[in-house]
């Protein structure tokens, strides 16, 4: 079974801070295929229910339409030339998804590809607007994070994501999850150096090596 890109990203994030936590909401391993209307709910490997809906399709012809699907561990939307649509994903999330009091809460996406059109993401929780973000056009093979208010998902309920973009937009995601800082885990006494510090150390080692060669 192929390793999910987001798992590696989550592991890397966790290694940078001992008190960083992550939770996978949907790895899209449970299939659900639909071109029009609402597909049947499909449980994911993380036991959250998911529904997928594609609506507001405009500009389509018999050979040129919009399709949203979950297959092969990927969530994909394809709008034909001159076609536009709105896609809605919803999940039933349990209370206590992240530890109470957690901070630095962020949505985490693994974007396989996005065409030249930016895609707009509008989140709601239990029917109330939660946050709005955008994935830039031309994003390929990237892990993106979007911060949300701490405690925003403390209670159980329905998390919904509405996606749309400019006419003809396409988007493929590999996985979707959450990252947070756990208040009950003590950070290490000697934190891992920041990238800038590591770069300085590397330059110092290179300089030392050059001096040895001159001698």
pLDDT tens, residue by residue, 80-101: 999 999 999 999 888 888 888 8
Residue with tokens 């992240």: 98
Domain count, the chain: 1
Q: Is 207 a domain residue? A: no
Cβ pair 179, 20 in contact under 8 A: yes
pTM, two decimals, is 0.74
pLDDT grade for 204, boundaries at 50, 70 and 90: very low
Q: Is 97 a domain residue? A: yes
Q: Is 177 a domain residue? A: yes
Residues 159 and 134: their CA atoms lie apart, in Å, by 17
Asked if residue 214 has pLDDT above 50, the reply is: no
pLDDT grade for 29, boundaries at 50, 70 and 90: confident
Asked if residue 169 has pLDDT above 80, the reply is: yes
Cβ pair 93, 161 in contact under 8 A: no
Q: What domain range includes position 29? A: 5-187
Asked if residue 124 has pLDDT above 90, the reply is: yes
Residues 102 and 150: their CA atoms lie apart, in Å, by 7
CATH for 49: 2.60.120.260
Tell me what pLDDT residue 133 has. Answer: 96
**What percentage of the chain has pLDDT greater than the value 70?**
68
Tell me what pLDDT residue 53 has. Answer: 85
């Amino acid at each position: 079974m192929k390793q999910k890109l987001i798992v590696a990203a989550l592991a890397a994030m966790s290694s940078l801070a001992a008190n960083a936590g992550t939770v996978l909401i949907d790895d899209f391993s449970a299939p659900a295929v639909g071109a029009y209307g609402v597909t049947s709910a499909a449980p994911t490997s993380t036991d959250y229910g998911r529904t997928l809906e594609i609506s507001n399709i405009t500009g389509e012809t018999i050979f040129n339409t919009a399709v949203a699907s979950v297959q092969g561990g990927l969530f994909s939307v394809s709008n034909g030339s001159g076609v536009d649509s709105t896609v809605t994903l919803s999940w039933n999330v349990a209370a206590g998804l992240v530890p109470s009091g957690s901070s630095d809460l962020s949505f985490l996406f693994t974007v396989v590809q996005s065409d030249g059109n930016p895609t707009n993401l509008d989140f709601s929780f239990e029917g109330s607007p939660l946050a709005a973000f955008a994935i830039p056009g031309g994003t390929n093979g990237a892990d993106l994070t979007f911060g949300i208010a701490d405690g925003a998902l403390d209670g159980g309920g329905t998390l919904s994501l509405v996606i749309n973009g400019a006419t003809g937009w396409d988007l493929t995601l590999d996985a979707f999850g959450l990252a947070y800082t756990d208040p009950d885990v003590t950070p290490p006494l000697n934190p891992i150096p920041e990238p800038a510090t590591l770069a300085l150390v590397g330059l110092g080692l290179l300089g030392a090596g050059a001096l040895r060669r001159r001698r």
